[in-house]
Structure 1
Amino acid sequence: MDMINFKKNEIFEADVIDLTHEGQGVVKIEHFPFFVDNALPDERIMMRVLKVGKSFGFGRVEQFLTQSEHRVSGVNLDYLRTGIADFGHLSYEEQLKFKQKQVCQLLTKTAHKEDFPVSNVIPADRTLAYRNKAQVPVRDINGLLTTGFFRKNSHTLIPVENFYIQTPEIDAIILFLRDEFRKIAVSSYDEKTRQGWLRNIVVRKAYHSSEIMVTLVVTSDKLPKDADRLLSALTEKFPNIKSVQLNINADTGSFILGKRFKVLYGQGYITDTMLGKTFQISAPAFYQVNTEQAEKLYQIAYDFADLKATDVVIDAYSGIGTIGIGMADKVHQVYGMEVIPEAVSDAKHNARLNNLSNTHYEVGMAEALLPKWLKSGIKPDLVFVDPPRKGLDETFIKVASETQARAIIYISCNPATFARDVVRLEEQGYQLDKVQPVDLFPQTHHIELVANFIRK
């Protein structure tokens, strides 16, 4: 087939035939695909060509000729452009259907599981203002310190004042800090020159206790003049703030947090409850950003596992202990592992907070610690895994299978790597039994799921 020579700014009339997993409309012109923001299936559009690659291009909606009945009107397009809410223009009911379909398609394509009965996605009661954590970049725009969000796949900051999916108090704190920092002429970080003091503002608000932690990611611990006055004004205006910290990150990499923290106000943590248990959360530790939905997610994981009082449980990727501590009073022993030292000390502290004596936490990679534990005679009945987006390590899958645990309960935040791991786990003698997606991230393309694997 001869390739059409598309030119930038050309305009075509086209039908939107599908959605990508990141919420862009798919248009084909003479079999050549274009990805278009803010375009939904069953819409007919006039599309302007923005960019053409070898095998696909990007376009923009110039005009809607027909619109989808599932379109949500009046959504600020910056939410789509930054990925804050890349599904914000699609009705919530359709978002849930799309997410379920995506899990089914990945299981078919990658794990060759045609027609696997993936359950309907468990919806969120709260589809806006649900996030309990924000990591907001700070940059200089036209000489003014500005907070916002990067445009997708770029480092261009789009100013944002209302983040739509965050707890409103978090947005209010970010705006308050922005305005106060402008008054005292704080310099924002410039990636090109590597100059400037303030890189990011990170705010976390505990869902049940309402305690708030503010972390300022900065290039040095040298405070600007007037910092004391600013701190007093901040904590007076927002009395739920229990912790203000500096995180010193002078590196040029893309990691948000550096290694060193310095507490400026209160203590180095906040406390919350989840499923009736109490948790202390430090700044670098992982804690689910949608507490209400995470409680449903963990409850499903426990139900899948069919917990027994005699069970020995491994909680791999244990974070601050939420999963293991949540079930510790229903089982015999919980062994957890995690690479972030602060999270492990949180987990140990959290076990004490909840008067548990049957949990054990260690710092280390799951694939390194598990063989050591097996050698020392620990024989698990259940293995819970909640890995990062890259999924499970192949060595870990092999060792986890050698435990001969009766089930492996897999919590995934990335269905693509999960589908790959289904193949690996089944090769090692574990059969995929159930898949239950849970919507932890309404208005976005992200999907969380719980799966149960039983030993063949």
Structure 2
Amino acid sequence: MPEKNQVCTAEITALTSEGSGVCRVDGMAVFVPETAVGDVCEIKIVKVLKSYAYGIVEKIITPSADRIENTCPVYKKCGGCLLRHISYEAECRTKNGIVRDAFERIGGLSPEFDTFLGAEDTEHYRNKAQYPVANIDGKAVCGFFAPRSHRLVPVTDCALQPKMFRDILDTVIAYINEKKISAYDEASNTGIVRHIYIRRGAHSGEIMVCIVVRKDISRQLSALCRQLSEKFSGIKSIIMNINDRKTNVILGDKCVTLWGNDTISDVMCGNTVEISPLSFYQVNTVQAERLYGKALEYASPKGDEVIADLYCGAGTIGLSMAKQAKKIVGVEIIPQAVENAKRNAQRNNINTADFYCGDAGEVFGKLRKKGCAPDIIVVDPPRKGCSAETIDVIAEAAPKKIVMISCNPATAARDTKLLSEKGYNVEKICGVDLFPRTGHVECVVLMSRKVI
């Protein structure tokens, strides 16, 4: 068993979903950040637990063939990207392996695995950014929190964000400092500006700037609205979101439109969609369209089916299938997202879609009692996966097919295993990379009802 501060030589044989390399020292698994499969390293053990340990690299003796030169100056500080030190080909192999391992090991399943869908663009692909604001050396700055902390790393020029986000951020931060508007302090729950939140329609180019504050400062922001609207033609909406709670949740419930529209619009899978500050909308539009395309391929509606879209957000998945379905029934817990979904249906002349607000399991259970009997259920749960109630009500509905979209292969494997025990075959799984250079990976799962 390794000991703390022990220095040893080992080869990295795998990468975890958190981006750490894995090696074995004296038979124990040791997790080592910023390493690549094939690296032979001199490693210092920094923490030893009962069944595994953590180490740091003292020296790379033989570098992996997967290693590349990192081009981001804050890569090792901000914690947003975990995989900038390996090639994108190696990243896709790693993420495909994470998906396969989750379903085979956690789920105990043996489905067919489709070809992994990597991204064509690995830089500047995000349509959304949320930058915390803090006071450093007497001035407001924004950036990202360092890993496992709330220590802010100043950065405005993130390689994953559109380039114009940097110029917008610089304008906002300069204004905050000029007007001496205080940055929020988490420890004391004082100060005003908490986050700068920007969204952009990838196809439309429309931009929303949202300033998250502890209290209403709309008068103080009026001149900023003029500056932003005159300087950036793409900005169509400037919002003030008020979050007066002592919490690490970014957004509050109240939004005030300071300038322009309440929402921006974009195009997703051929449909015009409306995006509000509180709407869920996939951050990588191009890859999301490929993800939803794979979900549509798996669902394969023939035109006469009822499709239930659970955890539907602004309705983008269900509406992308509406032309091939008889009816879409969407359920989402965020009221503003439900209103967006309803307006998205209207804007695209889709009159066969109904959307309901509430917990997915609870609301769908009530709809079932009223006669809703979907042929296909599409479910896109949060990272924690489906609730037990949702799993039960899905199984009780007994659709012919279930298509699950998940941002967490581990919880997806758990949930599909439960559904397999309730009468469903897990047929196909496809990994999709919506978040290049980070440790996150999405997957789409096709399940079909067992024939008894």
Q: TM-score, normalised by structure 1?
A: 0.94
Between the aligned partners of 1:102 and 1:426, the Cα distance in structure 2 is 20
Contact 2:3 2:45 in 1 (8 A): no
Match of 1:39 in 2: 35
Give the match's secondary structure for 1:125: coil
Match of 2:429 in 1: 435
Query: C-alpha displacement at 1:317, in angstroms?
Result: 0.8
Contact 1:408 1:454 in 2 (8 A): yes
RMSD of the TM alignment (CA)? 1.7
1:156 to 151, 155, 159: 151
Tell me whether 1:73 sits opposite 2:69 in the alignment.
Answer: yes
Between the aligned partners of 1:48 and 1:235, the Cα distance in structure 2 is 53
Note closer, same or farther for the CA distance 1:263–1:377 as it changes in structure 2 (3 Å cut).
Answer: same
Between the aligned partners of 1:416 and 1:355, the Cα distance in structure 2 is 38
Query: C-alpha displacement at 1:220, in angstroms?
Result: 0.3
Between the aligned partners of 1:267 and 1:311, the Cα distance in structure 2 is 36
Query: C-alpha displacement at 1:49, in angstroms?
Result: 4.4
Contact 1:170 1:204 in 2 (8 A): no
Query: C-alpha displacement at 1:183, in angstroms?
Result: 2.1
1:106 to 87, 102, 108: 102
**Matching of residues 379-398 of structure 1 within 5 Å:** 379-398=373-392
Unmatched segments (≥5 aa) in structure 1: none
Amino acid in structure 2 at the alignment position of 1:167: P
Tell me whether 1:86 sits opposite 2:82 in the alignment.
Answer: yes
Query: C-alpha displacement at 1:174, in angstroms?
Result: 1.7
Query: C-alpha displacement at 1:50, in angstroms?
Result: 4.3
Between the aligned partners of 1:123 and 1:383, the Cα distance in structure 2 is 26
Amino acid in structure 1 at the alignment position of 2:84: G
State the number of aligned residues: 450
Query: C-alpha displacement at 1:35, in angstroms?
Result: 2.6
Between the aligned partners of 2:68 and 2:426, the Cα distance in structure 1 is 36
Between the aligned partners of 2:311 and 2:14, the Cα distance in structure 1 is 35
Amino acid in structure 2 at the alignment position of 1:23: G
Match of 2:174 in 1: 179
1:119 to 114, 122, 130: 114
Between the aligned partners of 1:199 and 1:253, the Cα distance in structure 2 is 11
Match of 1:446 in 2: 440
Query: C-alpha displacement at 1:28, in angstroms?
Result: 3.5
Query: C-alpha displacement at 1:430, in angstroms?
Result: 1.1
1:317 to 306, 311, 314: 311
Tell me whether 1:455 sits opposite 2:434 in the alignment.
Answer: no
**Matching of residues 220-299 of structure 1 within 5 Å:** 220-223=215-218, 225=220, 227-299=221-293
Query: C-alpha displacement at 1:77, in angstroms?
Result: 6.3
Match of 2:165 in 1: 170
Between the aligned partners of 2:358 and 2:21, the Cα distance in structure 1 is 42
Between the aligned partners of 2:47 and 2:435, the Cα distance in structure 1 is 30
2:4 to 6, 16, 23: 6
Match of 2:187 in 1: 192
1:208-246 superposed Cα distances (whole Å, 9 cap, x missing partner) = 100001111110012474x32222111211111111111
Give the match's secondary structure for 2:252: coil
Note closer, same or farther for the CA distance 1:187–1:55 as it changes in structure 2 (3 Å cut).
Answer: farther
Give the percent of matched residue pairs that are identical in Structure 1 and Structure 2: 38
Contact 2:72 2:159 in 1 (8 A): no
Tell me whether 1:212 sits opposite 2:207 in the alignment.
Answer: yes
Amino acid in structure 2 at the alignment position of 1:259: D
Query: C-alpha displacement at 1:308, in angstroms?
Result: 1.6
1:64 to 34, 54, 60: 60
Tell me whether 1:331 sits opposite 2:325 in the alignment.
Answer: yes
Query: C-alpha displacement at 1:57, in angstroms?
Result: 4.0
Q: TM-score, normalised by structure 2?
A: 0.95
Contact 1:272 1:280 in 2 (8 A): yes
Tell me whether 1:424 sits opposite 2:448 in the alignment.
Answer: no
Contact 2:145 2:153 in 1 (8 A): yes
Give the match's secondary structure for 2:274: strand
Match of 2:368 in 1: 374
Unmatched segments (≥5 aa) in structure 2: none
